Each structure stands twice: as structure tokens, then as C-alpha cells.
A and B are shown apart, each in its own frame.
Chain A
Amino acid sequence: MSDPTLLVLASLAEGDKHGYAMMEDIERFAGVRLGPGTLYGAITRLEERGWIGPVKSRDERRQPYRITAAGQEHLAEQLAGLNRVVKTGLSRLRQA
């Protein structure tokens, strides 16, 4: 799983986060350090598609984001697809 948009959605599924918090969280759970350009490329695309949105914050320089209902739905679909691949792959490995 290396698609930055999915990683951002998976990070926000836990709760609201700003850019740096997402970067740290993604590195923790996926072992991938997203660069600033990649992270904000994903944030831009996700916001355009209505899958995440900004949350009001006192710190304007560290804007937190929240996953939307549509974003949760999309993440669930993608993870279900990945889950099927993982299950199939593992069962085939066991049979081999």
C-alpha cells in the first residue's frame, strides 16, 4: 500500500490531523515517509474530490483535516479490495 491518498485517508480515519502529524503517523503505521510535495499533492486531490475537508483551528499555519463520509466510504471500498488481495495471496502461499 503506497498510494499517498489512501495513506492520508487511513491516517485521518483515526482522527483530525495537520500535515506534519499525518506525516509522522503514516511513517509509524506504514513505514513510509511521505515528502512534503507528495503529502500536499494527496491532500489537494482528496480535498478536490470531497474526501477530506479542513477543520477550524486556532493555528492557521497548521491546518487540521478531517475525513468526510464520502472519504470513509472510499477508504472502506479500497481497503476491502486490498483485503481480498491479501487474503487470496496468503491462502495461496499456504497451499504452495
Chain B
Amino acid sequence: MKFLIKLYPAWWRQRYGTEMEALLEDSGSRDAWDLLRGAMQMQMKTWSFWRIVTVCGMAGALLAVVAAFSMPYRYQSTAILKTSPARSTAYWDTLATEAFTPQSLSAIVRQENLYSNAPPEDSIDRLRRGIRIATVAPDLAQVSFAYEDPIAVQRVSQALIGRLIAANLTTSVVKASEQSAPGARLEVLQSPSRPKKQVAKLGLASLPFPLGLLFGVVLALILRRRAAVAKT
């Protein structure tokens, strides 16, 4: 534990170092986090505003890189569906509600053994969150699914498209979305694509870097304000 005293600034070690050593011997404390926090506070007392900002920014970036590289990759498979005639966004919302019922999604989860560590209700929610339907033109919609396993992701996309086509055949969709219009013909313009990495890890890591910098600025401002109050 005594080696952690070296993390304190030199001026502090010179004044309190031997006392702290004696305290650690007497108390037998093993609270490393408390010492680390104390050392950080003492270091920051003498650091300039920009030094705090830089160190916090670097720490934020380091944490982000570690977090990004410890996370599994996510893959995405996308298909394009065409309707004849063109349909509104409400049509796709209704179609998705009809197609992706809890029973239907639960069957996909079981069949593909998705989210094996999660409870069943949670698995369905996570599967639902992985699905995206975006209308890219009045008669075109992009249906995509993202997951950690590249093989499963394409098969699940295929299953989801199958559910949408089946739901389109039921009259309830037509009735619920556009009562006066005739039913839409739905065709697969592009079958589920090969799995693509959804987000580059370095891209993900670069995102929290500005947040680390922002944290550094806020912390530096707080410390500067505290120092001003202490002086008065």
C-alpha cells in the first residue's frame, strides 16, 4: 500500500509522506481506492486548468478505447422491400405490429438461439430493438437487423422478411392502415445482405473522447471555483 504514496505530488510527500506511511502501518488499511482518490485530489490542486482538461480527455479516450475493444462486434443484414402501389409510413408500422408479435419473435429467438443469457421477455425486447424499418422511397422500405453473430443475423433477417410478407397477406393490415385503398403487393427487391460490421470500433471509441474533454473542462472549472472559495 505504501507505494501508492508515490502517486501524491512531491510537495505533499515531502510534508506528509512519512506521516502517511506511519498511518498505513498503524491502521493496516488496505483501502487502495481511498489513497488513489486522495492522490488524484492532491495532484489536481497544483495542476493548471488545461492540464486537468488534457488528462481527463486522455483518460476518457483511454476508457472509451478499452470499452470499445471489450465490446463484441455487431453485424447488420439489410433487405429492401417494394410495395405496389406506394404506401405510407403508417402502413409499415401496422405491418410490423402484425408481423412481429411476441409469439412470432419468441419463435425466432428459440429457433436461432439468440440472447441465450437473457430471460425470455428480455430476449424479445432486445430482438425488437435490433430491428429497423426505414422507408427510403414512397414504395421502398429498408428492413435491417443487427446482432453479434454474423451467421444468425442474416438468417434472422430472412425470417423477419418472411413474417412481414405473411402479415401483408392478411386482410387486417389493409383494413387497419388504408381502408379505402386496395391491398399492397409486397416484393423482395433485395434479399437480406451479407452481414456487415455495424460500427467500426475505433469510430465508437472516438465518440466519448469529446465527452472526456467536456468532463475535464467541467472538473477544472469546479476545482478552480473551489480553490477561489478556499482562498477567501
Contacts and interface: CB of A to CB of B under 8 A. Distances in A.
6 cross-chain pairs, A with B, having the tightest CB-CB distances, nearest first: A37-B38, A35-B34, A20-B26, A61-B22, A37-B34, A19-B23
Given A23-B23, A48-B230, A61-B21, A37 B12 contact: no
A74 interface: no
A42 B29 CA distance: 17
Q: Please tell me the size bucket of the interface on A.
A: 20 to 34
Contacts of B18: 60-61
B21 A45 contact: no
Given A19-B26, A62-B19, 9 more contacts: A36-B23, A36-B29, A37-B35, A37-B37, A39-B23, A45-B230, A61-B18, A61-B19, A63-B19
Interface in B2-38: 12, 16, 18-24, 26-27, 29, 31, 33-38
Interface residues of B, number: 23
Nearest to B35: A37
B42 A41 contact: yes
Interface of B: 12, 16, 18-24, 26-27, 29, 31, 33-39, 41-42, 230
Nearest to A19: B23
A43 interface: yes
Contacts of B19: 18-19, 40, 61-63
Contacts of B41: 41
Given A44-B12, A48-B230, A60-B18, A37 B23 contact: no
Nearest to B4: A37
Main secondary structure of the interface of B (DSSP, over half): helix
B228 to A, nearest CB: 14
Contacts of A78: none
A23 B33 CA distance: 17
Nearest to A42: B38
A35 B29 contact: yes
A83 interface: no
A49 B230 contact: yes
Contacts of A40: 16, 19-20, 23, 38
A87 B215 CA distance: 40
B20 to A, nearest CB: 6
A62 B20 CA distance: 9
Nearest to A41: B38
B230 A20 contact: no
A23 B24 CA distance: 11
Contacts of A62: 19, 22, 26
A38 B22 CA distance: 15
Contacts of A39: 23
A38 B97 CA distance: 56
A40 B41 CA distance: 11
Contacts of B27: 20, 23, 36
Interface in A15-73: 18-20, 23, 35-41, 43-45, 48-49, 60-63
